[in-house]
Amino acid sequence: MIKRQYSFAELVDVDEIRPVIQGFYTFTGIPPSLTDTQGKVLLAVGWQRICSDFHRKHDLTRQRCVESDTKLAAMLDMSKGYSCYKCLNGLIDVAMPIVIEGAHLANLFTGQFFFTPPDKEYFRRQAREMGFDEVDYLAAVDEVPIFTRERVEGAVRFLGCLAELIAGMGLKQLRLVELNEDLERTVERRTDRLRKEVEVRKRAELELETALAEYETVFANSSVGIVHLKGGRRIHRVNRRFLQIFGYDSPEEVRGQSALVLHLSQRNYESFGKEYYNPLARSDVIHVEYQLRHRNGRAIWCSLYGKAVNPPHMEQGVIWVIEDISSRKELESLREDMEMITRHDLKAPLSGIVSMARVLLQNEELDTEQCEALSLIESTGVRMHTQINHSLDLFRMESGEYEFRPESVDLEKLVQRVADEFEVKSKSLEVSIEVGLRTKDGRPVTALAEEMLTYSLLANLLTNALEASSSGDVVRVELNRDHGRCLVSVSNSGVVPDHIQGTFFSKYVTSGKSGGTGMGTYSARLMTEIQGGTITMASKSGHGTTIMVNLPGAYENEYTRSVE
């Protein structure tokens, strides 16, 4: 099948068949010619003088020649495969189409002959009409040969078979050329694609080399220790800071050793693997504060961050980033000791104040206002004593040893009591406190909690809100219920700095507060979570800060049953 329409000249080298056509003419005396479908002469051998010297030189007779070669040749006798006709200039021509795979590409002519002696009178008139030299023109007519039909038909069939054979060979050669061209284009495309792939690969290799160089720089000069544990939790690589933390002189001392050398005991090593390596295989990032062993055997408090190289294929190893936090742990321990001593030292004089208030209340000569003042001193002292005891409970909460004893707590009364006790402080700061109840049914907002824990929680939040407010501001405390849960929100106009918003409830986090320890919001979170609640914070310039505490309601089970 031909991919596109080709001309006969594209398929056949005319010069190659010229000797064959010339030989045919020499042998038979029948003059052949070859034209394309537009009448252009591609090859002519043995043309009669009447055509070459007369008909093809005069404008009118040449036009007749072209018309004869195209229009008349188109009127083929398809049963014979050729057309025999008298051209418009009076000579006999035979036209045979050359068809290659259904495409008519050229015409093969044999002509400029007669089947019978010519009509001299016709040609004499034509000579006069065209202005030819009559004598010379008639002499040229006499030179035109006379052939029988049988001889001409045999010659034409031979030439047609020869032309089709040559054209077929030319077509096959062209297909071979096209095939080679397609192959070259395919090779070129694949070469271009391969070249692009090579370029991409080279870029990737360069980027990888750059990334590896950057990684090596970070690895070698990091301010934290880095260790790569591979199959069997064996040490594959360590950096300089790791060696400093654990007291080794060179990487060769630990390379290939089991991570057991870093643990305080075989039991610790095994329990650490059981607890943390399954999460690592799930792509989790592990963070834990854990005691490891120095080369000399002493314990080191470390902050560990671990990530598997290619989870779940743990044989490719885990990267651990290690920070020595021993100094911080010592400071925390010292602070806890100091806090315990301080709490102990506060409780003794506070007990005296409470006892003195109780003794004075027994004096019957006191008026009502004096009794109320002494009662406030007594109740406040008792709560302070309880809060000091609760500060000891914070340590138990951190260590998971606190025993939670829930009871029904009327939050509306508790919030109002806290607000009343902060009235003096709020006035001194020129900040007002507003308490609002947003429930629609009028039922009390009762939480399943511990009263003193909740009191301390609210006191911490209210203290922070007042101290973060400016003169003339309002601190709002709102109560609500939602699906059996109790909601308490504390709002003020201050804004929490962006750099601590993500760690607002973490230990020792504070900013811009004179004398701030960063324990207020941290203890609020502990006291909320130990009671089964949640605590969140939202802070934005122009909107202020709101802390939302969500505690279990005392009627949460009743709400759930009613919904069901």
Token digits for 342?
């301080």
Higher pLDDT, residue 84 or 145:
145
pLDDT number for residue 361: 78
Residue indicated by tokens 């650490």: 272
3-state secondary structure of 124: helix
pLDDT band at 2 (very low <50, low <70, confident <90, very high): very low
**Count of alpha carbons within 13 Å of 541, Cβ hemisphere only?**
2
pLDDT number for residue 326: 92
For residue 545, give every residue at least 6 positions away whose Cβ sits within 8 Å of its Cβ, in sequence order, or none.
Answer: 465, 468, 491, 492, 493, 494, 495, 496, 537, 538, 539
Token digits for 424?
């003096």
* pLDDT tens-digit series, residues 384-394: 766 666 666 77
Query: How deeply is 108 buried, as exposed, middle or buried, from its count of CB atoms within 10 A (0-12, 13-18, 19+)?
Result: buried
pLDDT number for residue 297: 93
Of 15-24, 59-68, 113-122, 344-353, the poorest mean pLDDT is in 344-353
Q: Provide the CA 35 distance to its chain's centre, in angstroms.
A: 65
3-state secondary structure of 236: strand
CB-based contact 300:244 (threshold 8 Å): no
* pLDDT tens-digit series, residues 72-128: 556 655 556 677 788 889 998 888 777 776 777 788 778 788 989 999 999 999 999
* pLDDT tens-digit series, residues 264-304: 999 999 999 999 998 998 888 999 999 999 999 999 999 99
For residue 181, give every residue at least 6 positions away whose Cβ sits within 8 Å of its Cβ, in sequence order, or none.
Answer: none
pLDDT number for residue 376: 79
pLDDT number for residue 510: 74
pLDDT number for residue 482: 86
Percent of the chain at pLDDT > 70 equals 88
Higher pLDDT, residue 519 or 200:
200
For residue 489, give every residue at least 6 positions away whose Cβ sits within 8 Å of its Cβ, in sequence order, or none.
Answer: 476, 477, 478, 480, 546, 547, 548, 549
**Count of alpha carbons within 13 Å of 138, Cβ hemisphere only?**
10
pLDDT number for residue 473: 93
pLDDT score of 544 more than 70: yes
What is the pTM (predicted TM-score) of this model?
A: 0.40
pLDDT band at 490 (very low <50, low <70, confident <90, very high): very high
Higher pLDDT, residue 14 or 541:
541
Token digits for 58?
């005069």
Among 172-181, 316-325, 375-384, 424-433, the range of highest mean pLDDT: 316-325
CB-based contact 262:295 (threshold 8 Å): no
pLDDT number for residue 1: 43
